[in-house]
Amino acid sequence: MEKLLIKNGIVVDPFTDTQVKRDIYIENGLIKDIKKEFVGASGINVINADNLYVLPGLVDMHVHLREPGFEYKETIKTGMEAAIAGGFTSICCMPNSNPANDCKEVNSFIINKAKSFDLCNVFTIGAISRNNEGLNLANIGDLKHSGAVAISDDGMPVEDSSLMARALLYAKTFDMPVISHSEDIKLRGKGIINEGIISHKLGVNGIPSIAEEIAIFRDIKLAEYFGASLHIAHVSTKSSVELIKMAKNKRINITFETCPHYFSINEDSLLSYNTNAKMNPPLRTQEDVDAIKNALREGLFDVIASDHAPHSEDEKNTTLDEAPFGIIGLETSLALTLRLYHEKYLSMLDIANLMSYNPAKILKLQNRGAIVNGNIGDITIINPEKKWTYKKENIKSLSKNSPFINKSFKGAAMYAIINGKIFKL
Partner 1 sequence: MDYAKKDLISINDLSKSDILYFIDTAKEFKKISLQDIKKVPTMRGKTILNLFFEPSTRTKTSFEIAQKRLSADTINLSISQSSVVKGESLSDTILNLQAMKPDAFVIRHYESGAPFFISNITNASVINAGDGINEHPTQCLLDIMTIFEHKKEIQSSKIAIIGDVFHSRVARSDIAGLSKLGAEIYLYGPQTLMPRFINSDNIKIAGSMVQAVKEADVIIMLRVQKERTAIYFIPSIEEYRTYFKLTDEILKLASKDVLILHPGPVNRDVEISGSIINSGRTAIFDQVENGIAIRMACLYILLGGRHS
Which residues bind to partner 1, rule: CB under 8 A? Answer: 130, 136-142, 145, 160, 162-163, 166-167, 169-170, 172-174, 226
To partner 1, the closest distance from the beta carbon of 160 in angstroms equals 8
DSSP E strand stretches across 259-401: 303-304, 379-389
To partner 1, the closest distance from the beta carbon of 137 in angstroms equals 4
Q: Which DSSP helix (H) or strand (E) runs through 172? A: helix 161-173
3 state SS of 208:
coil
To partner 1, the closest distance from the beta carbon of 164 in angstroms equals 9
Beta-bridge mates of residue 6: 24, 47
Mode of pairing for the β-strands spanning 30-35 and 18-27:
antiparallel
Distances from the Cα of 270 to the Cα of 198, 200, 395, angstroms: 8, 12, 22
Per-residue burial over 168-201, b = 16 or more CB atoms within 10 Å of its CB, e = otherwise:
bebbeeeebbbbbbbbbeebbeebbbbbbebbee
Give yes or no: 307 in active site.
Answer: yes
46 vs 163 by CB, closer to partner 1: 163
Phi and psi for 110 in degrees, rounded to 5? -65, -45
130 vs 410 by CB, closer to partner 1: 130
Q: Which amino acid is at 242?
A: E
Per-residue burial over 63-94, b = 16 or more CB atoms within 10 Å of its CB, e = otherwise:
bbbbbbebeebbbbbbbbbbbbbbbbbbbbbb
Give 404: exposed, middle or buried? Use CB within 10 Å, 0-12, 13-18, 19+.
buried
Distances from the Cα of 190 to the Cα of 193, 209, 312, 372, angstroms: 10, 14, 22, 49
- DSSP-derived letter for residue 353 is I
User: Which of 307, 314, 321, 350 is an active site residue?
Assistant: 307
Give 127: exposed, middle or buried? Use CB within 10 Å, 0-12, 13-18, 19+.
buried
Question: Of 201, 208, 207, 193, which Cα lies nearest the Cα of 323?
Answer: 193
Q: What is the spatial distance between Cα 380 and Cα 387, in angstroms, rounded to a whole number? A: 18
CB atoms within 10 A of CB 46: 14
To partner 1, the closest distance from the beta carbon of 312 in angstroms equals 33
Q: What is the spatial distance between Cα 249 and Cα 81, in angstroms, rounded to a whole number? A: 40
104 vs 181 by CB, closer to partner 1: 104
28 vs 161 by CB, closer to partner 1: 161
Helix ranges (H only) for 227-307 are: 238-249, 260-264, 286-297
| Residues designated catalytic | 307
